[in-house]
Amino acid sequence: MPVYEYKCPNCGHFELKQSIKDDPISNCPTCDAQVQRLISKNVGIIFKGSGFYINDSRSDSTDTSAS
């Protein structure tokens, strides 16, 4: 399940694990103030497998296949 970041005017920033299908929460679980859901900046996604840039950009000197 993804982790979403929220901002509370009283408590500050907090994270909440929710399903993608769940609606965003509107009140802080701690102080019941109205919260705002933030858009995360750095999402650590790494695509691995044939056809992706990270694998295709390697030089031939790192190839470990037998010739």
Contact status, residue 49 vs residue 16, Cβ threshold 8 Å: no
Mean pLDDT, the chain, as a whole number?
Answer: 78
pLDDT tens, 6-40?
999 999 999 999 998 999 999 999 999 999 999 87
Domains of the chain, residue spans = 3-57
- Greatest pairwise CA separation for the chain in angstroms: 65
Beta strands in 1-67 (DSSP E): 3-8, 12-17, 36-38
Prediction pTM value: 0.58
What pLDDT digit, counting tens, does each position of 57-67 carry?
Answer: 555 555 555 55
Q: Are 64 and 41 in contact (CB under 8 A)?
A: no
pLDDT score, position 58: 55
Which pLDDT does position 22 carry in this prediction? 92
| Structural tokens at position 54 | 């990270």
Work out the angle at residue 63's Cα, subtended by the Cα atoms of residues 62 and 67, and round it to the nearest 5 degrees.
140
pLDDT in tens, 1-10: 788 899 999 9
